[in-house]
Amino acid sequence: MKLTLQEFETQLARMEARLVPELYIALQRIGEATQDVARAMPGVEHSFWPPLAESTIEDKMRKGFPVPSPLRRTGEMAESYKYELRPGELAVAVGSEEKTALFHEFGTSRMPPRPVLSRAMMEILPFARRMLGSVANSILTGRPEKLLP
Residue 83 amino acid letter: Y
Residue 149: pLDDT above 60? no
State the pLDDT at residue 9. Answer: 86
DSSP code for 48: T
Residues 62-80, mean pLDDT to the nearest whole number:
94
Question: What's the angle, vertex CA 97, arms to CA 94 and CA 101, rounded to 5?
Answer: 85
Q: Of 61-65, 81-85, 139-143, where does mean pLDDT reach its minimum?
A: 139-143
Contacts of 93 (CB under 8 A, 6+ apart): 31, 83, 84, 86
Q: Give the three-state DSSP class for 102.
A: helix
More confident residue, 15 or 125: 125
Buried b (16+ CB within 10 A) or exposed e, 106-135: eeeeeeeebbbbebbbeebeeebeebbebb
Instruction: Give the predicted TM-score (pTM) of the model.
Output: 0.85
Residues 32-42, mean pLDDT to the nearest whole number:
97
What CA–CA distance (Å, rounded) separates 44 from 87? 34
Contacts of 20 (CB under 8 A, 6+ apart): 90
State the pLDDT at residue 48. Answer: 93
